[in-house]
Each structure stands twice: as C-alpha cells, then as structure tokens.
C-alpha cells in the first residue's frame, strides 16, 4: 500500500501540473474552445491512468491496471466530495492537497484490490468512500443552501 501511495501521489501531482499547464496553454475564455480544452484534459487523464498502471506494475503493485482504475474512480468521488469544501488560493496548497488525495486513493485502491483482503472489508471501504457523496451534498446544502 505504501508503494501505491507514493506512485499515485507523484503521478497525481504530475497530472495536476500538466493539466494546469495545458489549460493555461489553451488560454481562451469563450465557449468555442471548451471542446478542445476538455478533450485535452481527457487525453491527459487517460494517459495518467495508463502511466500509473504501468508504474504500479513496475514497483510491484499488482494488478496495476485494477489498482489504477480503482484509484481513478476513488479520485472522482473525492473530487466531487471536495466541491463542498472551501477552495484555496495557493497553488502550492492545491498541489499538496491533490498529492494527498492521490496517495489516499492509491492506498484505498491497493487495499480494495488486494486478494487477501476479505470481501466484507472491501465492501465496507467502497461504502465508506461512496458515503462521502451524500455527506458532501448535505454539507454543501447546509453551507450554501438550495
């Protein structure tokens, strides 16, 4: 799980930096360039997941593809849940937060895909991560109202 955390954190910060650079490179403010910008984001994200699968296999986290896909799904849930939290104006804080989130997703993914972990623990971990969504929605409604 430690190797998965390190690999996912490093690749997560790398992904965050490349997306920021790509978004700044596109640099438009109208709707006409939204499709190419989002397309570039999708390509970078798919490349990061493929790269993480390869990197996880190289450091001995097996099965790398399942861990990478599970971590990516976990990151989607974490990102949706994080929308209810206040944002930071610091770029360094954003990079650090994304690295921590990716490390957590890597650990959780390695745990959930480990064959020796009982099925009940896997289901409990999945339920806990999915419970973040309604909790974040409730927090958002309490904070901002409907």
Where exactly are the structural domains of the chain? 1-19+34-84, 92-145
- CB-neighbour burial class of residue 95 (10 A; exposed 0-12, middle 13-18, buried 19+): middle
Per-residue pLDDT of the chain (146 residues; tens, 9 = 90+): 889 999 999 999 999 999 888 888 877 767 777 888 888 889 999 999 999 999 999 998 888 899 999 999 999 888 888 887 777 778 888 889 889 999 999 999 999 998 899 999 999 999 999 999 899 888 888 888 77
For residue 75, which of 107, 47, 50, 43 has the smallest C-alpha distance? 107
CA atoms of 48 and 76, how far apart (whole Å): 14
For residue 1, which of 49, 62, 72, 66 has the smallest C-alpha distance? 62
In the three-class reduction of DSSP (H, G, I as helix; E, B as strand; rest coil), residue 18 is classed as helix
State pTM to two decimals: 0.82
- Residues comprising the chain, all counted: 146
């Amino acid at each position: 799980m430690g190797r998965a955390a390190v690999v996912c954190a490093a690749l997560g910060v790398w992904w965050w930096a490349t997306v920021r650079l790509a978004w700044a490179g596109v640099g438009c403010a109208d709707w006409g360039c939204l499709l190419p910008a989002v397309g570039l984001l999708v390509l970078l994200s798919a490349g990061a997941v493929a790269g993480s699968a390869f990197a996880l296999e190289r450091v001995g986290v097996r099965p790398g593809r399942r861990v990478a896909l599970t971590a990516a799904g976990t990151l989607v849930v974490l990102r949706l849940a994080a929308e209810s939290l206040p944002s930071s104006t610091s770029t360094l804080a954003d990079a650090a937060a994304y690295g921590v989130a990716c490390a957590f997703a890597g650990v959780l993914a390695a745990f959930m895909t480990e064959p020796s972990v009982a099925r009940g623990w896997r289901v409990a971990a999945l339920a806990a991560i999915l419970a973040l969504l309604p909790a974040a929605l409730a927090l958002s409604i309490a904070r901002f109202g409907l």
